[in-house]
Amino acid sequence: MRVNKTKTSIAIAFCLFLVLVSALIINAGQNNLSKSYVYSIDSYGIHKLDTRTDSKKVIFNTAGMYKVSFSISPSDTVIAVLITERGVVPPGEHDYSVLPKNLMVFIDPEGNEITTLDEDVRKFSWSPDGEKIAYVTGTYDEDKGFMSTGLYLFDLTDGSKRQIAPRAYYVNWAVFDSCIYYEGFKYDPTTGKTEKTSYHGINFSPDGKYYIALSSMEYPRLYISASNEEITDQVKLKLGYVPRSWMPQEKHHLHAVKIDYEPRSEDTVTSGRPLAMIKVERKVIQKTFFIYDVETDQIIKEWMK
């Protein structure tokens, strides 16, 4: 029996092509699977919405809690839940007898508890791989305000913890070099070395080319990392202000929102007293979202909600 080698080669090549296409489809499905869920929070709990089936369930109960927030790790495998316990003010007093305190609970996407960090966590930042966090602890003094008690690194894989600095007020684990930045310093978790920096802020773009300087006393400002040149005005011309957050997994894209309100209604009261204004809270008419590329100085996407 004679076999046509040409037809056999074509058949083998076609089979290999089908295998490759199938693998690509499977991978695409797996990648989309991790992006098929939306998380939200209200006074009852943290909710997980499956956008494919439109089914929703509570994965963490927040009923009766004073204040709760959450953050999803870059790997989408862990959710950090920050719980603020209400402080105690004795009747007739103005000062706390027991200060408010934070507790951090780590859960998986189904709501199963992984571990708990029973420290007064005030600020934190995920490592790029989502396996660790750098966090600031502290408390509030009635006269002095917030007082930092340290900057630490916590490893979720083995539960280990180590101190990075005796105090810090802001922290950011940068994506571009995997180093931890805080006021005027950079800490390399691989070598354990700390060095000074000349940056005015620590909120870097994912590629490290730009950074945002945040301050409780001033509006956010934008800088070029290599030269420390301020380019705040460039962004203000396009957006009207400097946003506080970068688009994750993008090079240097800022996420901004513009809120349009209905005209403020005002009534006057003059009954023998100085003129008074009664101001009614304005309703939101529309929200416009922007994605802005700093390098090209262009708005690359815009949508309304």
216 band by pLDDT with thresholds 50, 70 and 90: low
pLDDT above 70 (res 131) = yes
Q: Give yes or no for residue 106 having a pLDDT over 70.
A: yes
Weakest mean pLDDT among 17-31, 91-105, 171-185: 17-31
DSSP 202-236: -EE-TTSSEEEE--SSS--EEEETTT--B-HHHHH
Mean pLDDT of 21-43: 54
CATH of domain 37-197: 2.130.10.120
pLDDT at site 145:
76
Q: Tell me the two tokens of residue 104.
A: 């951090």
Q: Which residue has the tokens 């691989």?
A: 190
How many helices, marked H, and strands, marked E, lie in the chain? 2, 23
What is the model's pLDDT at position 31? Answer: 37
For residues 233 and 270, the model is more confident at 233
What residue segments make up the domains of the chain, in order of their start? 37-197
pLDDT of residue 227: 94
Separation of alpha carbons 72 and 246, rounded Å: 15
The one-letter amino acid at 98? V
Q: At residue 172, does pLDDT exceed 90?
A: yes
Higher local confidence (pLDDT), 33 or 297: 297
Read off the pTM.
Answer: 0.75
* CA–CA distance, 197 with 180 (Å, rounded to integer): 12
Per-residue pLDDT at 160 = 95
Instruction: Quote the percentage of the chain above a pLDDT of 90.
Output: 49
Confidence at residue 281, expressed as pLDDT on a 0 to 100 scale: 58
| Spatial separation of the C-alpha atoms in residues 41 and 47, rounded to whole Å | 6
**pLDDT (mean) for 142-165:** 91
In sequence order, what are the residues at sequence separation of 6 or more whose Cβ sits closer than 8 angstroms to the Cβ of residue 207?
175, 176, 251, 252
**Tens-digit pLDDT profile for residues 238-295:** 888 888 888 877 789 998 888 887 776 554 444 444 444 444 456 778 888 889 999 9
Q: In the predicted model, what is the mean pLDDT of the chain?
A: 81
Tokens 């390098």, residue located = 295
Q: Note the pLDDT of residue 207.
A: 92
**Quick one: pLDDT band at residue 217, thresholds 50, 70, 90?**
low
